């Protein structure tokens, strides 16, 4: 003889219902995650565009600055890569008296260009790039 037990008013969810709910929640979370990643990428791109515009404007102002005798009509030399923010020459272009860029100490001659740090103090961008 087989005995079957029937539960009246049984409460709770079946395994299938739980799986469906968890699947839907997973899909919603995946969509939210993708939207958040897209938002962060857009914010980073906007910040980089603003930085680029600031540097481009500062370079143009440097080139066209009237030094008294004439326009500068030159790009600034790079700042040394090896100098930290606590040093007085941090972000200052390294130029000889004859107008040539100083190499060494973190500024490298790459043939027709010099490699070094952006001279933020020379371009008066120090407050934007100091990290404070």
Whether the predicted pLDDT of 99 surpasses 80: no
Task: Please report whether residue 21 resides in a domain.
Answer: yes
Domain end point (choices 22, 50, 73): 73
Task: Please report whether residue 6 resides in a domain.
Answer: no
Q: Which domain holds residue 111?
A: 76-132
- pLDDT at residue 95 in the model: 82
Residue % of the chain over a pLDDT of 70: 82
The total domain count for the chain is 2
Task: Please report whether residue 3 resides in a domain.
Answer: no
**114: DSSP letter:** E
Task: Please report whether residue 5 resides in a domain.
Answer: no
pTM for this entry = 0.61
Whether the predicted pLDDT of 111 surpasses 50: yes
Task: Please report whether residue 92 resides in a domain.
Answer: yes
Residues 82 and 49 in one domain: no
Residues 43 and 91 in one domain: no
Residues contacting 108, CB < 8 A, separation 6+ = 114, 115, 116
Tell which residue, 75, 79, 77, has the closest CA to residue 105: 79
- pLDDT at residue 132 in the model: 42
Predicted confidence band of residue 20 (pLDDT cuts 50, 70, 90): very high
Domain end point (choices 52, 73, 94): 73
Task: Please report whether residue 4 resides in a domain.
Answer: no
* pLDDT, the chain, mean: 81
Residues 58 and 35 in one domain: yes
Strands (E), the chain: 108-109, 114-115
Cα–Cα distance for residue pair 35/27, rounded to 1 Å: 12
């Amino acid at each position: 003889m087989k005995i079957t037990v029937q539960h009246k008013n049984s409460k709770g969810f079946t395994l299938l219902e739980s799986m469906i709910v968890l699947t839907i929640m997973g899909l919603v979370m995946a969509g939210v995650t993708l939207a958040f990643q897209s938002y962060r990428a857009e914010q980073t791109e906007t910040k980089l565009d603003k930085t680029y515009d600031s540097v481009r404007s500062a370079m143009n102002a440097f080139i066209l600055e009237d030094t008294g005798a004439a326009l500068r009509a030159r790009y600034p030399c790079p700042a040394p890569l090896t100098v930290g923010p606590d040093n007085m020459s941090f972000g200052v272009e390294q130029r000889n008296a004859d107008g040539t860029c100083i190499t060494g100490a973190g500024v490298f001659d790459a043939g027709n260009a010099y490699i070094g740090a952006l001279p933020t103090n020379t371009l008066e961008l120090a407050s934007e790039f100091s990290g404070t």
